[in-house]
Amino acid sequence: MDIQTAGEIETILPEQAADFVAEMLGELAALSRQAGLERSSDLIKSAIPLLALESERHQSGSS
């Protein structure tokens, strides 16, 4: 598994940020579930749709 810390992540464009964070949250939710942290996993996963809305809003605002 290739693990990156926040300091190692290259600069990303604002329009890519929400997608990137959603992907990272998806991975964190999966790891939480594997560790038996069901509530944490569910809470993390619930934030992903909000990021999708934020991404859509940003993309429609920049078009």
Report yes or no on 40 lying in a domain: yes
Would you say residue 3 lies in a domain? no
Residue 1 within any structural domain of the chain: no
User: pTM for this structure?
Assistant: 0.64
Whether 8 is in a domain gets the answer no
Q: How far, in Å, are 15, 36, 57 from residue 41 at the CA level?
A: 26, 9, 26
**pLDDT score of 55:** 76
How many domains does the structure of the chain reveal?
A: 1
| pLDDT per position as a tens digit, 35-55 | 999 999 999 999 888 887 877
Summarize pLDDT for 20-39 with one digit per residue, the tens. Answer: 888 889 999 999 999 999 99
pLDDT of residue 43: 92
Domain limits at 54?
14-62
CB 52 within 8 A of CB 22: yes
- Does 38 map to a domain? yes
Tell me: pLDDT of 5 over 70: no
Domain assignment present for residue 48? The answer is yes
